[in-house]
Amino acid sequence: MEFGDQKILPAVHSMKDFDKMLKYSFEYGIFLDLHIGMLKSVFEYANSKNKKMFLHMDLIQGLSNDEHAAEYICQTIKPYGIISTRKNVVKRARELNVKAIQRTFVIDSNAFKRSVELIKQSDPDYIELLPGVVPKMIERMKLETGKPIIAGGLIDHHEEVSAAIEAGASAITTSSHSLWMYFGK
């Protein structure tokens, strides 16, 4: 597994959430919904706690979501990795040697086909597949792309986490504090 024995990646919406994440031994996590003015101090704090945090580029308030923003973030903020639905952002992060997750939504067969094509173009390190509660799609996406899968969205119970992992997901993303508690050490 790419994240050690960490089955979930806590998705953090606020500094209060991040402080809750720190109660557990999670090494990896994801920052969501940050204001551009907070990025530097938030990542300095995370680094001081030895946390490897991804930044969801699409959810940064006050910053355009394009390859120039990705370049700025990767060179200035230096997150462990980024997440985006945009292939140009993912490609630029990869060029700058920052881990990149291509987030994709698979709601039907056509969305699946478009996602596979997008992934071939962006060549991410990981794919975040939403919704993550469909094990057969996790298996199929992993087979079609050869990329590690992170399942996300609509996962509420530890049995769903286990099903996603058994289907081939490397980890799942969740903002559920009850799942953090269940899987945290």
For 17-42, b where at least 16 C-beta lie within 10 A, e where not — what string? bbebbeebebebbbbbebeeebbeeb
* Helix or strand (DSSP H, E) at 180: helix 177-183
In the chain, the domains with their CATH numbers are: 8-183 (3.20.20.70)
Cα 135 to chain centroid distance, Å, stands at 18
pLDDT in tens, 4-59: 999 999 999 999 999 999 999 999 999 999 999 999 999 999 999 999 999 999 99
The reported pTM is: 0.96
Sequence-distant (≥ 6) Cβ neighbours of residue 123 within 8 angstroms: 90, 91, 94
Report d(CA 42, CA 84) in Å as an integer: 19
Q: What is the pLDDT of residues 143-169, one digit of tens each?
A: 999 999 999 999 999 999 999 999 999
Beta bridge partners of 9: 173
Structure confidence at residue 97 as a pLDDT band (50, 70, 90):
very high
User: What would the two tokens of residue 59 be?
Assistant: 């959810």
> Across residues 80-98, what is the average pLDDT?
98
3-class DSSP state for residue 80?
coil
